[in-house]
Amino acid sequence: MSIAFTVADPWYEQFLVGCLKNSYLNHADVAGSAGTMLALKPAVAAAISTDQLDEGHIAALTVEPLFLPMLHAAVVPLLWFESLVAKLRVTLTEWQNPEHLPLLAAIAHQAFNTDYVYPRSVRDTEIEQALLSQPVELMTQIELMSLGTYRALVDVPGARSLLRRPFSPPFVKTVIDRTLREPLEERTIQTHIMSLSPVHDEVSKKVQAQYEAFPYPRWIGVQRYVPQHLAQTLIRECPGIEDPGWPDTPRLLVAGCGTGRAPITYARKFPQTEVLGLDLSRASLAYGIRKARELKLSNIEFCQADILSLDGLEQRFEFIDCVGVLHHLDDPIAGWRVLRRLLKQNGIMEIGLYSERARQDVIVAREEIARLALPGTPDGIREFRERVKIDPALAHLRSLVTVVDFYSMGDCRGLLFHVQEHRFSIPEIKRHIDDLRLRFLGFSLGVGPIGVRFRASFPDPTALLDLDCWAEFEQQYPQTFRGMYIFYTAKRT
């Protein structure tokens, strides 16, 4: 949950800068708050309001303490920030001034963070094509950083030759590493990933293709935790969980782990666990494997698999995490049933499913996309984003610009253009839990206001485990599960 600043406080500004530069924090949690602070600065307000940036604007932005760290560290989910950076990109790439190298390199990082989702003007296309017309091995550093604001260098013909070239200052080398060296390493990793099951299901193949093109989610840092015990943490966080009596080294499965953020977080937070991350996408898995190696984690393994084809897996798990995955299967309940078989008798399963009630704007957006016949390609995604931002006929969809996933290509595709999406209601979830012979152990509520508001409406402690009460609560507060229903279940005894 982001904090919105209303005063530009120097102490908090330096605190936010420190957070953005700390590789052991989740920068996505900081970026939105930092943006509200940055918007209060006069130099930033001046740059936002002008149609024509000049050297004064550029110089003032470059020395703003928050600006470059924000560009480097995370996707910044703010429309004004996106518009400002897009305006900066075309200005700086036209000028080709070596003095602007630090700012161009930072914009290249932001572009990579967002999967190059920013809108493309005719002038942007002209600049990119002019840069691509040159042999990459002959490009100057300012030209390479300019090109890096439009595409990953790994996708530039002949870019491997850059690996033999020394780069200085270090911030240029960092762009080369992130957009060329690391993606090449991941492509090598992909060829060595073990497969636990074939991908036969036609919908699974389409989902796999989507995430091969856009590995999800894009992330950089992962929070460092004081080592904890998994069972004790679950007992503290969920009212329906009692001591499950697990062994000292419980096995943990993340089914649909994407780029590995969740299993890596588990492996760091709970070092006594043995973590297995499974996903359809080799590109996503390769990112997670590279990050796990970077963090020197020894209690984690990644494999390719389709949940629907895991019947033959012999391993059983004390804890299964499957958040944001089942609703993308052809048959979510069949997948859930497979996971139930993989759960030990005293195991706990965390499930995340989309809410029909909370995703009404997404449903309308998907209908509008179908009406416009927009493809889930980069150009199609950019076009729809621009329509949402400026088309009065789509004003009813403006709520989408408050969603973090709107601000990167892969996330926006998953939000609005996904090849498969099911949604659920709480009564449906209750029925499926009963049909699968499971027990509901409570929602994952975190530290936000939902739990406080629910207890005010339903003061009886047992109501937290009553899905009928939660259905009534969601009817009263339809955006409660805007992200997902995330809840815990266990086998019936």
Tell me the CB-side half-sphere exposure of residue 32, using CA atoms within 13 A.
14
**In whole angstroms, how far apart are CA 345 and each of 252, 254, 342, 493?**
14, 18, 9, 8
pLDDT of amino acid 46: 96
Q: Is residue 37 part of a domain?
A: yes
Render pLDDT for 285-298 as a digit per residue (tens, 0 to 9): 999 999 999 999 99
Average pLDDT on 258-278 reads 97
**476: pLDDT strictly greater than 80:** yes
Residues 216 and 345 in one domain: yes
Residue where a domain stops, chosen among 416, 443, 464? 416
Cβ 239 vs Cβ 489: under 8 Å: no
Cα separation, 142 vs 135, in Å, equals: 14
Residues 316 and 242 in one domain: yes
Render pLDDT for 405-464 as a digit per residue (tens, 0 to 9): 999 999 999 999 999 999 999 999 999 999 999 999 999 987 678 999 999 999 999 999
Cβ 416 vs Cβ 373: under 8 Å: no
Q: Is residue 84 part of a domain?
A: yes
pLDDT of amino acid 318: 98
Facing residues of 277 across strands? 254, 302
Average pLDDT on 142-147 reads 98
Q: Is residue 197 part of a domain?
A: no
Render pLDDT for 335-374 as a digit per residue (tens, 0 to 9): 999 999 999 999 999 999 999 999 999 999 999 999 999 9
Residues 321 and 396 in one domain: no
Q: To 5 degrees, how large is the angle CA 110–CA 103–CA 164?
A: 80
Q: Is residue 190 part of a domain?
A: no
**24: pLDDT strictly greater than 90:** no
Q: Is residue 134 part of a domain?
A: yes
Residues 25 and 90 in one domain: yes
Backbone dihedral region of 260: left (phi > 0), alpha (psi from -120 to 50 degrees) or beta? left
> What is the tally of structural domains in the chain?
3
Render pLDDT for 44-55 as a digit per residue (tens, 0 to 9): 999 999 999 999
Q: Is residue 381 part of a domain?
A: yes
Residues 333 and 451 in one domain: yes
Mean pLDDT across the chain: 95
Residues 297 and 246 in one domain: yes
**In whole angstroms, how far apart are CA 445 and each of 257, 267, 415, 458, 486?**
21, 22, 22, 15, 8
Residues 283 and 378 in one domain: no
Residue where a domain stops, chosen among 177, 210, 240? 177
| Residue 312: pLDDT band with limits 50, 70, 90 | confident
Long-range CB pairs of 274-277 (<8 Å, 24+ gap) are 274/249, 274/250, 274/299, 274/301, 275/299, 275/300, 275/301, 276/251, 276/252, 276/300, 276/301, 276/302, 276/303, 276/315, 276/317, 277/301, 277/302, 277/303
Average pLDDT on 71-83 reads 95
Q: Report phi then psi at 162, rounded to 5.
A: -70, -20
| Residue 249: pLDDT band with limits 50, 70, 90 | very high
Of residues 220 and 272, the one with the higher pLDDT is: 272
Cβ 309 vs Cβ 199: under 8 Å: yes
Residues 473 and 448 in one domain: yes
Cα separation, 366 vs 377, in Å, equals: 14
Cα 414 from chain centroid (whole Å) = 10
Domain residues for the domain of 381 are: 360-416
pLDDT of amino acid 446: 72
**2: pLDDT strictly greater than 80:** no
Residues 79 and 149 in one domain: yes
Residues 408 and 293 in one domain: no
**1: pLDDT strictly greater than 70:** no
DSSP, res 401? G
Lowest mean pLDDT among 54-68, 234-248, 478-492: 234-248
User: Residue 330: which CATH number?
Assistant: 3.40.50.150
Residues 352 and 406 in one domain: no
Render pLDDT for 193-240 as a digit per residue (tens, 0 to 9): 999 998 999 999 999 999 999 998 888 877 778 889 999 999 998 888
Q: Is residue 2 part of a domain?
A: no
Alpha-carbon dihedral angle through residues 99, 105, 111, 113, given to the nearest 10 degrees: -150
Tell me the H-state helices in 343-398.
360-372, 378-390
Cβ 15 vs Cβ 213: under 8 Å: no
Cα separation, 357 vs 43, in Å, equals: 42
Closest CA to 483 of 440, 450, 434: 450
Residues 146 and 23 in one domain: yes
